[in-house]
Structure formats: structure tokens, C-alpha cells
Structure 1
Amino acid sequence: MTTKRISVDPVTRIEGHLRVDCDIQDGKVVNAWSSGQMWRGIETILTGRDPRDAWLYTQRICGVCTTVHAIASVRAVEDALKLEIPLNAQLIRNLIIAAHGIHDHVVHFYHLSALDWVDVVSALQADPKATEALAQSLSDWPNNNAAHFAAVQARVKKLIDSGQLGIFAHGYWGHEAMKLPPEANLMAVAHYLEALEYQRKSNQITAILGSKTPHIQNLAVGGVANAINPDDQSALNMERLAYIQTLMAELEGFLRKVYLPDVIAVAALYADWLPYGAGVMNYLSVPDFPRDTKGTDFGMPGGYIPAADLDAFQAVKHFGDPFFEKSVKESIKHSWYQGDWTRSPYEGETVPDYTDFQEEAAYSWVKSPTFNDEPAQVGPLANVLAMVAAGHEGTLQYLDDAVTRIGAIAGKEVPLSALHSSLGRHLARCIRTQVLYDMMVDNYDALVANIASGDVTSFNPPTFPKGEQMGYGFHEAPRGVLSHWVVIENGKIKNYQAVVPSTWNAGPRNQNDARGPYEASLIDNPILDEERPLEVLRTVHSFDPCLACAIHLHDNERQEIVSVKAL
């Protein structure tokens, strides 16, 4: 039996550099390797620094996953110091978390992943009137009309006729695996363009509260730097809060009437793809949106699900929960670092030892996290399944409605087990976005009510005792479980490790040679054209990879790597 090795390097439409190698037999993947191609360096930079500054450095890990590292970092130091933060600070952080998450999920589906399923060139063959009928069967969004679709079609034709395809260049247009009818493709392209505007609105909320984006400036160990005064133009006042409410209202229509129906339509029209892409079915998430000053009560639950068994769900209950703390380890057996160890992140090291790609030995800069010594998949699917297991009412309602609508369009019943797939990750991400919007509304109302009660406190100053303190902070980031781990000695950082979502999912084989989630999810995926492996991209993109988060480039020699001329 002939085996062919293909290499996708780099995987595009992601942040960072990822290489994926696959062995193909009889038109399907039989083996896979995920390789991160940059060295991790941020943790080394932090050694010896003031713990209060760590969040400013760590959010520079990535230009996409910015706020999430800031949040996890301050939570880690606060855990080490056992420091409570004011309720206003929790609520402001929560609003930033929700706004950033919504922005991130919308960008991922439309601008980073939809082109794996949508044939842009095919949209030229669509009938705008028929597209209107399709779109209006899904929702009453105002722009779902023939005139709008015709205008978008004309824009696409002008772009293609010019030969300058820009962001649409090098797509797998006409690929046999592209199965949407032209009208569905035209609808998706129109919504792709609208999504550019609505992700911006969500990002505006982050900028108002965080002072700028990317890389917010308002966090502090002990709370936030936002001064609160309803009557002061230089503080967080009622005018700014009212504008945030306006932006929230504008977002709701797009999330409910465009994003959700589009994901439902893609899942239904690609129902034959529902069996593919499951991989690792140990799921890990953490609770988020704390509603108290100690981080013991949360708006969104999280926990661990072994082997896809929702009845065996174990909740992570609070910040600093020892169940999470004692279960997380990292292995470097197949990574380009010195040694061969499996350790708690508190004891982790980041000492490079590059040996080139060796599929039976080391082949990635990414480490291999484990939970209870097993690989775990993290991300919106893990988060949604945990919320289902915990009985979260909003998640159950959105998921039941979506699965019912997918079945109606596909003409067959869709079981919950269909979520264990590439398309299931997209549906879960969309369900999570609906819940994030609800969280944003709840936290906005709570913040306004708390300010109205007369509470304007937003910061509790930290103090650093002599000796050693250890702590970790977790956050259910858009791509899944993010945790930062810090060891402080006499007020300075002794060790710092970040275990990020794409480390969990993109990691190579672990200490027991078990495949990581990317690798496992590719096994048995169909490959119709080995020269154009669209199906590999579909599954890998469904995780929303961010390799800059998993591995951070650093040059000790400070040599010039690239120069850019601004015109």
C-alpha cells in the first residue's frame, strides 16, 4: 500500500508559523505531525522582573490574543498574593473579555476559516433573487435582499476581472470538496464583508474600557486603572457607558441573525463532513466571568470531561482550584528543549535545544501539556460541552435550537455527538459567542448598578512579602484554556510559564507518545487532492490556531530580523 507524505508549511490564515505533515493512504490521513516553527522566549524575558509588569509583557506574546494574556497574568500574580480585587474591576475586566471574545470569534469564522468552505469565485454564478430567498429562509436580517447581493456580486466580479484578488488569492476555488451552491457562496461572501464592520464595533468596546486595542493599558495587579466618576469627562462616565450600550445593541442583530444562521447553514449543507475531525475527546475548560471579588462565583462554568463522557464532568470551581493546579503538566519529550521531563508549569524551563525535524524524536518548539497525564482538547467545543454538562441554561437553549435547525435543513436528525468534529468546533464557537453576548449584557447591567449604588472603587494595591509565593491564573480565552504560572521570590519573578490554548491543541506527541489534538483530529480525514489538501486546512483551522501564543520568538543577540518602510 503506497503512503505519500505531504507537508503544509506554513499553514496560513493563522497567527504564527505552523507546519503540518501528514501521511496519506487510499485518500485519507493515516498519520500526522504538528510542528511549531518559532522558539518560545517571553518567559525567559520575564525572569527577574517586577510581577506587576508581567501582564504588559505577556500580552505582547501575540497581536491577536492580546487582552487574554494580560488577564491571565494579573490573575496569576493576584493568586500568588491571595489578593481580592474590587467588584467594579471584575466587571470591567469581564466586559473586555466578552467584547474581545466576540470580536475574535467573528473574525475567525468569516475571515480566517470560512474560505475553507466558501468558494468565492462560485458566487459569480449565483442568482441574487435566489440568494435572497435562501438568506431570508434563515433570518430576517435587513441586508438579506437581492439588491444588496447583486451589489456584492458586482464587487467580486470587478475584483476577479482585475486579476488582483488580494485576500482572495490562492484559494482552492473549484476544489471538488467545495460543495456549497452558488447562492450560499454569494450569501457568505456578502456576510464576510459585513463582518468586517461588526467585529470593529466589538473591538471599540475593548478600546473604550482598555484605553486602546490591541494591547489594552488599563489593567493592574489588584484591579483596573479605570477611574470611575459618572460626572467626569476624564473618567469612565455615563456618556462612555451609554456608548458601550449602543455598540452592544448593534452587535446583537449581527450575532443572532447573521453569524448563527450562517454557521447553521454551512453545517447543514456540509452534513457529510460531520463525522470528521474529532481527535482527542478529553475536554478541558475553566470557569470565567467572576461575579464576586474572590473568583468563586462565575457566569460561565468550566471543568474536565474525560473521553467525551459528559456524565463524568468534573468542575473547576474557583481561582486557584487545586484540582486544576495539580492536574496540569507539560512534557518536552518531542520538543526542541533541553532534557526529557514532564513537570508542573511551576517547575517548567524554556531552554532551547534545536535538532531539526525528527518525527520519532523532537519536531516542534511547542510543548505538550497534559491533564491527569492525558492530552486534552481545549477551545469553544470544550467550553460548550462543559456548560452543557453543568446545565448552563443559555448554552442548552442555543445549542438545542441550532442542532434542530441544522437537522431541518439537512433533512436528518443531528445527534449531540456530531459536535465532536471540525464543523462541531465551528458550531460550538458560534454558540459560545451567543453566550458571550449574554455575559456582556449581564456584566454591563451589574456594573451600572454597582456604580449607581455609590461604589466607585476599582483597585486594591498589592504588597509583596519576603520569601517565595506561587500562583496561577486561568482564563477561558477565545481559543480555550489559558493559564499563566508564576513563582515570585522577594518581590521579583523567579519563574514564569504560560500554558496557552494552542499549546494544548498544537502540541506534539507527549511523554507517552500520544498524539496532540491537531494530530489526532486529522486521522481518517479524507484527502481528495494530495496537491491541494484543503481538508487538512479545514480541520486545523477549526481549532483557530495561534502559534504566536504557543511559541514566542526571541533573539538574544537583538539582530535585525526585518525592516519595514512606511509609505
Structure 2
Amino acid sequence: MSKHVVIDPITRIEGHLRIEAVIDENNVIKEAFSSSTMFRGIEEILKGRDPRDCGLLAMRICGVCTGTHYQRSIEAVEHAFGVTIPKNARLVRNLMQGALYLHDHIVHFYHLHALDWVDITKALEADPKKAVEEAQKWAKIAGTRAWNASEDNYKEVQDRVTKYVKQGRLGVFGNAYWGSKAYKLTPEQNLIGLSHYLDALDLQRRIAKAQAIFGGKNPHPQSIVVGGVTCVQDIKNPARIAEFKDIIQLAQKFTKQAYLPDVYMAGTMYADEALAGVGGGLGNFMCYGDFNLDDTPFYEAKKLFPSGIVLNKDLSKVYDLDQSKITEDVTHSWYEGNDNLHPFDGKTNPNYTGFKEKKEGIAYLDTDKKYSWIKSPLYDDQRMEVGPLARMIVGVARGDERITKYVTTFLKNGNLPTKVLFSTVGRTAGRAIESEMMADVIIQWCDELAANVAAGDLSTWTEFDFDKVSKDAQGYGMAEAPRGSLGHWVKIKDGKVVNYQAVVPSTWNAAPKDYKNRMGAYEASLVGTKVVDPDQPLEIIRTVHSFDPCIACAVHIVDTKGKELAVYKVDPLGGCRA
């Protein structure tokens, strides 16, 4: 007899996400449905605004990857105005964005995703001496030394967590599926993961400081403007660049000595699932491209991450990206109509139709109709997965020398075939591979910025005549966020925004079915997964977390039984009111 499982809310993510799954008598997922139970209304708030102000408002779409929304919005207006930024501005934007990637990936793996692999309770049973040997083993595979691996450290970690357990103060470690048979790490491996979890708490604070050096603050930096950046004094000061570089070098060391070895460790222990392709999903990958490597307009520049499309896991072919082929379908989304529109013509007209009937006090999604606030993006009428793994897949398919080197080195060191990338484990590994590459490249950009300033170039902004360029225009900013492909599209008339649409990574990945009833990336990745215990669906959480969901900016909230708590009306010129 099949069982209908509801996980709401999915925790350790940004925003509100609900997953429903139909599991057969063999505990295999046959159907899955992804629903955002929160409404994003930023696009409507931006209408009527001065386009130069959009970035500061658009970054409020998210409380995590604020800087990347900020930059994409600014770039959309620069594209509309035909503005190309100077070299210093390009490098500073790359540094801010690169620091965001490192911060986001490390926080994600340790503080959002690690507890899907690491059983904290079993770490308390570990032998610290054996844990040191275990850590050194995985670090050797990664070609490095183990991070903070000593008996004293591991014993101190055990004592600290044991104290909380005895006091009944588990905090963020509470209410998990501890003891589930879906956990596979040994006690010593769990202890290593727990130790690095705690170390990463301090590191994330330091990387946030690096972001603030050029951004002014974190989150929500404020130094990017249409035409360039405003952090002139920080660029001119060698000590500020050196401070930024020191922090990144620490993150680089942690990534190589802790993050990568931990992913090797988890990947090896879950190798059977990786080889079987558990969590593989759609098999279609897309990357917009990101991090300009020259000073031509962003849509023409050579990229650190090349753009492209890979279909059906076929790395022998890569297709060029054409932004005109991007559309958003709302057949199963809580918006008016069944339109499938390009973002320039996109509409954000809410039409909340509610949940289906309640059973035993639980309201289920009306999956035959509309069941999510997220739209369903399509590329050339195809569903796509985006994110770090997609960037690595497209990079390898493109024959990019740098990306191919990092990916093949990772696979070779772990004695892993390429096919393991197409899985939950592979998606997690893709993020770690990218983190190592980003740390190395950011340090090069630091040196490039310092050398450029030392040579006398202090330009940070390109002047433009707003009155001449802003009357009637449209533009897009398309690049990558830590979680995947991110685009902002803006239409301007008489110097004011008349339409604005943002298609974010979790729109691509977390979307519901489309007009052909084809699943989104989350949904497709869950189908076929065997769950050890449907009452503790750890496998579902692990796969969904591997995408690093980011579903933010709610103005509509429902409780767990589908009861409406409040209704909000959006006023484009005055925020929102109850």
C-alpha cells in the first residue's frame, strides 16, 4: 500500500519549502511534489522606480545571496544603458561575488547539509585517537594534511557536545532523525564532521568580514552602482586588499584540508548510491556563465564559468545559451492564467487557489492544479537543473581547461568514475570542487587588483548621461549565484521601471510541474529513491538539501494545516501592508 509523506517545513534552508512524496509498498518514491508556500512580490515593488535604485531593492529578494541579486540587477540596468564598467570595478565585483561563493558553499555543506550525512549522537561514541587516523586518511586522498586533527581537539568537541546533551540543550542539533539506518558514517567519521562543523562557524564569520571589506557591510552590501563601484578608498589601500586576501587564504586552507576530505569521506561511504545515480534527477544542466575575465561588456566577456546547455548527461555535446529561449510557465503555480512568457514580458499576478481536502488534520497540495508560488522556468521548452554541479558539467563539456583540471583531479584522487557526478553525492561534490577552484582564483584576483592600482589605475566608475540613456530601454543581467543561474530582466519607459522579472536558481530547481506535467529538478531527483523509513525520510531531506534551497521573501504565510493566517496587499510604491 502506498504512503503519502509530507515534509513541511523543510528546515536548514532559506525560506519555506514543502515536499510531498508518494512512496510505494517497497518504500520507493513514485511521485514527488515541490511547493514553495511563500509569495515573492519584489518584482511588483520595483515597478515605477528609478532603475538606478533597483539593485538596492532587488537584493532584498534574499537574505543569503544578497550581493549576487544586487549585482545582477545593476548589470541589467547597465545592459539597458549600454554601460561598460572599468577594470577595478570588475575585479572588485569578482572579489565580492567570489567571497560570497566561498561563504555560501562552506555554510551550506557544514551547517545546512552536513547533518544529512553526520549523526551527531554517534560522534559521542567515537575514539578520538582513531578519529585522528581517519582524518589523516581522507586528507591524504585529497593530497593535503588534515585540518585541526588531534586527540585533544576531538576529545574537547565530544566533551562540549556531551555537556549539551546531558543538559537537554541540543539547540540546532535537536529534532533530527538521529539513529536512522540511512546514516552510514562510522563514529569516528561522525566526530570529524562534527568538529569541522564547529570550526566552520568561526570561518563563516571571517568570510562575511571579507565580503564587507569591499561591500561596506554584510549582508546587503552597498558599494555597487550603475557604472562601477564606490569603494574607492578600500581599493587604494593595500592593507584592505591584504586583509581580504588573508581571509580568503584561510578559507582556502579549510577548503583543501577539511571540506574536500569530508566530501571524499561521505562520498566513499555512500558510493553505492552515487554509482546507482540516486538523486540524479533531470540530467539536463544549464549555466549562464559568470565572473568576467576581461573588460568587455559582461554579456561578451570571457568567463571563469562558461555558459552552455548539456542535455541527458551527455558530456560530448554542449549547446550555446540563447536568453531569448527562456520562459516561465505558471500552469501549476499560484498565478493567474497558464502563460509561458519570456521574462521581459513576464507577469506576477497572484492567484492563490489553496490546498486540497484535509485528511486526518493535514491539508495536501492540489497537485492536479496549482500548488506552488514558484513558477516553472523552461529553456527551449526543456526543464533544467542549475547550480555548482551544472557549472562543472558545462565547463567539462566545453573543454574548459581550468574546470576540467579540478573535476578530473577530484575524480582521480577518489578513484571515482564520472557517472558518480549525476547523483546526490555528485551534486554535493560539485559544490566542493567549485569551492577549491574559487578559493585559488580569488587570490589571483586580489593580486591582479593590487597590481592594477599600484600601476596608477584608480578608475572605479564609468560616467553616463542618465537623461539620454534611460528614456525607453530594456536589459538583462544574467550570471550565476552560488546556487545556480540567476537572471534579472528590466523594462524602462520614460526613465522608470515598467516591468521587472527575476528568475532565480531555486526557481529553476524547486519549480513544480510544467504545462506538460514534466517535473522540476527537485521532484525528478526524488523519484526512484528508496527510503529506509518513511516516518524518518532522511533520504528526501538529503537530496533536496544537495541543491541548497533558497526560497525567500514571503508576504503570504499558511500554517501546517493550510489555514490562512493573514492576507497582504502589495503597494508598489509603499511596501506591503496587512
For the aligned pair, the TM-score class normalised by the smaller chain equals over 0.9
Provide the secondary structure at the position in 1 that maps to 2:570. coil
**Which of 280, 283, 300 pairs up with 1:281?**
283
> 8 Å contact 1:71–1:475 — kept in the other structure?
no
Cα separation, 2, equivalents of 1:486 and 1:273: 43
Tell me: CA distance 1:91–1:12, structure 2 relative to 1, closer, same or farther (3 Å): same
Tell me: CA distance 1:486–1:552, structure 2 relative to 1, closer, same or farther (3 Å): farther
Cα separation, 2, equivalents of 1:297 and 1:559: 41
Paired residues in the alignment total: 542
Q: Which residue does the alignment assign to 2:508? A: 504
Q: Which residue does the alignment assign to 2:132? A: 132
**Match runs of 1:196-207 below 5 Å:** 196-207=201-212
**Partner deviation per Cα, 1:459-518 (whole Å, 9 max, x = no partner):** 113334364211110121100000000001111101000000000000011122110000
**Match runs of 1:344-423 below 5 Å:** 344-357=342-355, 358-407=366-415, 414-423=416-425
Provide the secondary structure at the position in 2 that maps to 1:474. strand
Provide the secondary structure at the position in 2 that maps to 1:12. coil
Cα separation, 1, equivalents of 2:494 and 2:544: 43
**Partner deviation per Cα, 1:351-375 (whole Å, 9 max, x = no partner):** 0111113211100010000011111
Tell me: CA distance 1:492–1:223, structure 2 relative to 1, closer, same or farther (3 Å): same
Tell me: CA distance 1:192–1:215, structure 2 relative to 1, closer, same or farther (3 Å): same
> 8 Å contact 1:221–1:462 — kept in the other structure?
no
Which has the higher mean CA deviation after the structures are superposed, 436-445 or 156-165? 436-445
Cα separation, 2, equivalents of 1:239 and 1:444: 12
Cα separation, 1, equivalents of 2:546 and 2:94: 25
> 8 Å contact 2:60–2:553 — kept in the other structure?
no
Query: How much has 1:329 moved relative to structure 2?
Result: 0.5
Tell me: CA distance 1:455–1:550, structure 2 relative to 1, closer, same or farther (3 Å): farther
Provide the secondary structure at the position in 2 that maps to 1:308. coil
Q: Which residue does the alignment assign to 2:570? A: 556
> 8 Å contact 2:570–2:577 — kept in the other structure?
no
Q: Which residue does the alignment assign to 2:72? A: 72
Which has the higher mean CA deviation after the structures are superposed, 14-23 or 137-146? 137-146
- Point out where structure 1 has 5 or more consecutive residues left out of the alignment: 229-233, 317-322, 408-413, 562-567
Q: Which residue does the alignment assign to 1:520? A: 524
Q: Which residue does the alignment assign to 1:34? A: 34
Q: Which residue does the alignment assign to 2:101? A: 101
Tell me: CA distance 1:466–1:101, structure 2 relative to 1, closer, same or farther (3 Å): closer
Q: Which residue does the alignment assign to 2:464? A: 462
Q: Does 1:426 align with 2:408?
A: no
Cα separation, 1, equivalents of 2:60 and 2:314: 37
Cα separation, 1, equivalents of 2:502 and 2:517: 22
Query: How much has 1:301 moved relative to structure 2?
Result: 1.6
Q: Which residue does the alignment assign to 2:6? A: 7
Cα separation, 1, equivalents of 2:92 and 2:163: 44
Q: Does 1:24 align with 2:26?
A: no
Q: Which residue does the alignment assign to 2:89? A: 89
> 8 Å contact 2:41–2:570 — kept in the other structure?
no
Query: How much has 1:142 moved relative to structure 2?
Result: 5.0
Cα separation, 1, equivalents of 2:349 and 2:516: 21
Tell me: CA distance 1:436–1:58, structure 2 relative to 1, closer, same or farther (3 Å): same
**Which of 546, 551, 564 pairs up with 1:547?**
551
Q: Which residue does the alignment assign to 1:334? A: 332
Query: How much has 1:28 moved relative to structure 2?
Result: 0.8
The one-letter amino acid paired with 1:326 is S
**Match runs of 1:47-446 below 5 Å:** 47-139=47-139, 140-228=145-233, 236-274=236-274, 275-293=277-295, 294-295=297-298, 296-316=301-321, 323=322, 325-357=323-355, 358-407=366-415, 414-446=416-448
Cα separation, 1, equivalents of 2:440 and 2:130: 34
> 8 Å contact 1:301–1:315 — kept in the other structure?
no
**Partner deviation per Cα, 1:139-162 (whole Å, 9 max, x = no partner):** 223511111111111111111111
> 8 Å contact 1:36–1:551 — kept in the other structure?
no
Tell me: CA distance 1:552–1:237, structure 2 relative to 1, closer, same or farther (3 Å): farther
Provide the secondary structure at the position in 1 that maps to 2:552. helix
Query: How much has 1:267 moved relative to structure 2?
Result: 0.4
The one-letter amino acid paired with 2:341 is R
The one-letter amino acid paired with 2:570 is N
Cα separation, 2, equivalents of 1:253 and 1:552: 42
> 8 Å contact 2:310–2:317 — kept in the other structure?
yes
Cα separation, 1, equivalents of 2:306 and 2:556: 30
Query: How much has 1:430 moved relative to structure 2?
Result: 0.3
Cα separation, 1, equivalents of 2:435 and 2:554: 23
Query: How much has 1:181 moved relative to structure 2?
Result: 0.5
Query: How much has 1:404 moved relative to structure 2?
Result: 2.8
Query: How much has 1:559 moved relative to structure 2?
Result: 7.6
Tell me: CA distance 1:560–1:160, structure 2 relative to 1, closer, same or farther (3 Å): farther
Cα separation, 1, equivalents of 2:313 and 2:80: 33
Tell me: CA distance 1:432–1:552, structure 2 relative to 1, closer, same or farther (3 Å): farther
> 8 Å contact 1:18–1:34 — kept in the other structure?
yes
**Partner deviation per Cα, 1:381-406 (whole Å, 9 max, x = no partner):** 10011111122333223222322333
Cα separation, 2, equivalents of 1:23 and 1:154: 41
> 8 Å contact 1:87–1:291 — kept in the other structure?
no
Query: How much has 1:550 moved relative to structure 2?
Result: 9.6
Query: How much has 1:197 moved relative to structure 2?
Result: 1.6
> 8 Å contact 2:512–2:520 — kept in the other structure?
yes
Query: How much has 1:555 moved relative to structure 2?
Result: 4.4
Query: How much has 1:560 moved relative to structure 2?
Result: 7.5
Cα separation, 2, equivalents of 1:269 and 1:471: 47
Provide the secondary structure at the position in 2 that maps to 1:115. helix
> 8 Å contact 1:366–1:550 — kept in the other structure?
no
User: TM-score under structure 2 normalisation?
Assistant: 0.91
Query: How much has 1:47 moved relative to structure 2?
Result: 0.2
Cα separation, 2, equivalents of 1:278 and 1:142: 31
Provide the secondary structure at the position in 2 that maps to 1:122. helix
Provide the secondary structure at the position in 1 that maps to 2:169. coil
Which has the higher mean CA deviation after the structures are superposed, 541-550 or 272-281? 541-550
> 8 Å contact 2:39–2:554 — kept in the other structure?
no
Cα separation, 2, equivalents of 1:466 and 1:528: 58
Cα separation, 1, equivalents of 2:400 and 2:556: 36
Cα separation, 2, equivalents of 1:135 and 1:6: 37
Which has the higher mean CA deviation after the structures are superposed, 454-463 or 104-113? 454-463
Identity of aligned residues (%): 43
- Point out where structure 2 has 5 or more consecutive residues left out of the alignment: 140-144, 356-365, 558-567
* Root mean square deviation of aligned Cα: 1.7
Query: How much has 1:209 moved relative to structure 2?
Result: 0.6
**Partner deviation per Cα, 1:302-351 (whole Å, 9 max, x = no partner):** 211112112221244xxxxxx2x211100001111111110100000100
Cα separation, 1, equivalents of 2:540 and 2:165: 26
User: TM-score under structure 1 normalisation?
Assistant: 0.93
